Amino acid sequence: MEVMILNRIAALRNYMNHHNLDTFIIPSTDPHQSEYVADHWKVRTYFSGFTGSAGILIITQKVAALWTDSRYFLQFEDECGNSEIELYKQSIPHAPEHIPWLCNLLNKKDTIGIDFRQFSKSQIDYLKDCIGDKEIQLKNHPHFTKEIWLDRPSLPKGKVSNHSLEFSGESAKSKLAKVQLELKKQKADYYFFSSLDEIAWLFNIRATDVDFTPLVTSYALVGVEETILFCNCERFSQEHLEELKSIGVSVLDYDEVAVELPKLSKETVIVTDVFSLNYACYNAIQGSIVHQNSVVKEWKSIKNTTEINGAISCMKKDGVALTKFFMWLEESLQHKKLSEYEIGRKLESFRAEQERYSGESFAAIVGYKGNGAIIHYTAPKEKSALVEKKGILLIDSGAQYKDGTTDITRTLWLGGEPSEAIKQAYTAVLKGYISLEQISFPEGTIGVQLDVLARMHLWQEGLSYPHGTGHGIGSFGMVHEPEQGFATSGVTSRGTAIHKENQLTTIEPGCYVAGEFGIRIENIVLSKFSKKTQFGTFLKFEPLTLSPIDTQLILVDKLSEKEIQWLNEYHQKVYDTLSGLLNKEECEWLKEKCKKI
C-alpha cells in the first residue's frame, strides 16, 4: 500500500512539474459537494490511501499533508501512519483550516492546481480571500488523473427510479411549482440546483450512484417556463421520461450542463446556493447569480405526513431486525467468537429481510472494545477483531428503506465485570441522551443552544466527546441531512439552524477512551408541537427509534426518578410496538431486555 501511494504521489508531482503547479489540492467531494461520492470521485482516497469520508489532501513538491477531523485521527494513523503524508488535525469538522496554512506556505505568484468542479464557489471565495495580495493563481485541471489513474471508474450509469407518491407524499409537480413561485417572488428566471439530495427530493428520483445514499448524479435548472434535469437520458425508463415531460421537465445528459449554462444570457437572473454551486458551473454562468440558502434544503428537512409515517414504519422494521440480530449475537457468542466484520454482515442480513429494504444507510460501525473509540470505524473484511462474550461492543448502523432512512447506535456489555469508569461514562451518556430528548424548547431555538444538555452530565465527571450530538436525516435520502442538528459551535449549520416542527434528527452523545472503549447511544427523534403559552410556542422531541438500551452498564443510583421513569416507559413502548411483529421466543427475549429497572 505504502509503495503504491508513494508512486501515485510521485506521478502527481511529475504532472505538477510538467504543468508548472506548485501545489495541488484534492478534496474528498464531488461536483455536488456530496458527503458520499461515486467511485469516480474518490480521488483523495486514490492519492492518499485514506478512506475516511472527510479529508483534504495537499501535495507540493516537498509536502504531502492531509486535513481531517477527530472522528478520523485513529483511522488516519491506521491507513496512512507509515506514509509520508502528515496529518493535520482539524479542530472543527469540515472547517477550511488548511487554507490559511497553505496561504502561509506559498510564495508570491505560486500556482495551485485544482479541479474546479470539486470546489464550491464559496470555497474558492474563501481561498482567494486568504491568498490576499500574494497573486497566487488557481488553475483548473479537471483531467489531471488521466495519465495516472488509468482504471478510474466511470460516472454512474444505473437506472433512475421514480420515488412514488406513496413514499414521497408530494408530487414533483407540486414541489417544482413551489420553486417556480419562489422564482416569481424573487423576480428571478431560474433556480439552479447542484446538491444531489435536493434534486432527488425535488424530482422524486432515486438511484444507486453512491454508496449508502439513493441519489442521482445530476444538476437541475428550474425555470418559470422550462425545467432541465441534467442526467443521462438512458438512465430513465421511457415512461418516466414522459411523466417528467408532462410536468415540463426536459432531461438532458449530465455533461450538457457545461453546454446549457453558458447559453443563459447576461440578463438572466439565476438563484442558487453558492455553498453547493461548484466553481466550474459558476464560471459557466454569464447571467447574474443571486445567492440563496437553498429553499429546498429547508422544505426537505420538514417531513410531510407520508414521510413521517414512513419513518415510523422503518423504525418498526429496524426494531424487528435489531431484536433478531441482538438475540442471534447473544446466542452465538455463548459458544463461539465472531469477527466484527461478520457481525456487521449478519446485521445487514437481518435488515435485508425487511420490507422495502434497499441497503445500508452508511457503513455499519461494529467496534469491539478499543475499536469502539474510533468514531467512524469500519471493521476490515479480513482480520477484524474477534468479539467474545466479554467486554464492550459499540454498534452504529442504519438502513435505507423505500419509505425512510434509519440510524441507530447501541452499546452492549457482553460479559465479565465492567469497570467503574465504563459504567460512569455509560450512565452519563444515557443521562445526556435523556436530558436532550426530554427538553421542551421555544420556537427559534438553534442546535448550539441545546447541545450542552447531552454533555452536561459527562462534563460534571470530567468526561466529554469530540463530535456533535446529532444531525438531520432524510427520507430514503441522506443519513446526514442538512440543516438542523446539535453542535458545540456556530460554525456549522448543525449549530445555527433553527429546530422546526416535523423534522427528524438524531441524538447521539458518546464517550471514548482510545484503546479501551467507545460508548454511544443514538435514537432518531421527531420534533413536535409541545405547548403554546404566553411565553411562546414550545416544541419537543419524540423518539422514533425502537430498540432496547442495554441496562447492564447503568449506575442506577445515578439516575433521577424521572430518568428511571423515562427508561422504563421507553422500554415499555419498544416492547408494546414490536412484540406483535415477533415470534414467541423473540418476544420473551425482548421482554427481558425491556424489563423495568
Contact 204, 171 (CB under 8 A): yes
Binding flag, residue 464, its own copies (CB under 8 A): yes
With 0-12 / 13-18 / 19 or more C-beta atoms within 10 angstroms meaning exposed / middle / buried, residue 512 is buried
What is the nearest approach in angstroms of its own copies to the Cβ of residue 535?
4
What is the nearest approach in angstroms of its own copies to the Cβ of residue 458?
8
Judged by CB under 8 A, the residue of 448, 553, 554, 567 near its own copies is 448
Binding flag, residue 462, its own copies (CB under 8 A): yes
Binding flag, residue 188, its own copies (CB under 8 A): no
**Cα end-to-end span (Å), the chain:** 51
Q: Residue 22 or 125: which CB sits closer to its own copies?
A: 125
Binding flag, residue 565, its own copies (CB under 8 A): no
What is the spatial distance between Cα 5 and Cα 47, in angstroms, rounded to a whole number?
Answer: 6
Q: Is the dihedral of CA 180, 35, 505, 462 positive or negative?
A: negative
Q: Which stretch binds its own copies (CB under 8 A): 93-101, 167-175, 282-290, 445-453?
A: 445-453
What is the nearest approach in angstroms of its own copies to the Cβ of residue 335?
37
Binding pattern for the stretch 523-562 against its own copies, x by CB under 8 A and - elsewhere: --------x-xxxx-x---------------------x--
Q: Which stretch binds its own copies (CB under 8 A): 54-62, 291-299, 332-340, 443-451?
A: 443-451
Binding flag, residue 456, its own copies (CB under 8 A): yes
Binding flag, residue 441, its own copies (CB under 8 A): yes
Q: How many residues bind its own copies (CB under 8 A)?
A: 31
Q: Residue 396 or 451: which CB sits closer to its own copies?
A: 451
Q: Residue 304 or 496: which CB sits closer to its own copies?
A: 496
Contact 357, 349 (CB under 8 A): no
Q: Residue 237 or 440: which CB sits closer to its own copies?
A: 440
The DSSP result for 321-369, as a single string, is HHHHHHHHHHHHHHH--EEHHHHHHHHHHHHHTSTTEEEESS--EEEEG
Q: Residue 258 or 421: which CB sits closer to its own copies?
A: 421
Q: Which stretch binds its own copies (CB under 8 A): 53-61, 186-194, 224-232, 448-456?
A: 448-456
Question: What residue ranges in 499-597 does DSSP mark as E strands?
Answer: 504-507, 510-513, 517-520, 523-533, 536-543
Q: Residue 408 or 436: which CB sits closer to its own copies?
A: 436
Distances in whole angstroms, Cα of residue 37 to Cα of each of 40, 41, 193: 8, 6, 17
What is the nearest approach in angstroms of its own copies to the Cβ of residue 489?
7
Contact 208, 286 (CB under 8 A): no
What is the spatial distance between Cα 414 and Cα 398, in angstroms, rounded to a whole number?
Answer: 21
Binding flag, residue 434, its own copies (CB under 8 A): no
* Strand arrangement, sheet containing 249-252: 249-252, 227-230, 219-223, 190-193, 269-272, 288-291
Binding flag, residue 440, its own copies (CB under 8 A): yes
Q: Which residue has the cell 478510474?
A: 152
Judged by CB under 8 A, the residue of 82, 349, 460, 552 near its own copies is 460
Amino acid code (one letter) for 292: Q
Binding flag, residue 459, its own copies (CB under 8 A): yes
- Alpha carbons within 13 angstroms on the beta-carbon side of residue 178 total 15
Q: Residue 49 or 509: which CB sits closer to its own copies?
A: 509
What is the nearest approach in angstroms of its own copies to the Cβ of residue 443?
11
Binding flag, residue 513, its own copies (CB under 8 A): yes
Binding flag, residue 439, its own copies (CB under 8 A): yes
Angle CA 45–49–55, to nearest 5: 50
Judged by CB under 8 A, the residue of 25, 450, 524, 567 near its own copies is 450
What is the spatial distance between Cα 416 and Cα 423, in angstroms, rounded to a whole number?
Answer: 13
Q: Residue 334 or 533: which CB sits closer to its own copies?
A: 533
Q: Residue 137 or 489: which CB sits closer to its own copies?
A: 489
Q: Which stretch binds its own copies (CB under 8 A): 67-75, 248-256, 258-266, 446-454?
A: 446-454
What is the spatial distance between Cα 593 and Cα 597, in angstroms, rounded to a whole number?
Answer: 10
What is the nearest approach in angstroms of its own copies to the Cβ of residue 288?
13
Chain-centre distance for alpha carbon 94: 12
Q: Residue 79 or 563: which CB sits closer to its own copies?
A: 563
Q: Which stretch binds its own copies (CB under 8 A): 18-26, 54-62, 360-368, 489-497?
A: 489-497
Binding flag, residue 442, its own copies (CB under 8 A): yes
Distances in whole angstroms, Cα of residue 522 to Cα of each of 29, 132, 525, 557: 27, 44, 10, 22
Judged by CB under 8 A, the residue of 394, 446, 473, 567 near its own copies is 446
What is the spatial distance between Cα 216 and Cα 343, in angstroms, rounded to a whole number?
Answer: 30
- All three cell numbers of 594, joined, read 425491556
What is the nearest approach in angstroms of its own copies to the Cβ of residue 187?
16
Rounded to 10 degrees, what is the CA torsion of 226, 231, 233, 234?
-170
What is the nearest approach in angstroms of its own copies to the Cβ of residue 137?
26
Q: Which stretch binds its own copies (CB under 8 A): 291-299, 357-365, 486-494, 500-508?
A: 486-494
Residues listed for the chain: 597
Nearest of 167, 501, 492 to residue 301 by alpha carbon? 501
Distances in whole angstroms, Cα of residue 365 to Cα of each of 237, 317, 376, 485: 36, 19, 7, 21
- All three cell numbers of 507, joined, read 441524538
Q: Residue 314 or 567: which CB sits closer to its own copies?
A: 567
| Positions in the binding site for its own copies (CB under 8 A) | 439-442, 445-446, 448-453, 456, 459-460, 462-464, 488-490, 495-496, 513, 531, 533-536, 538, 560
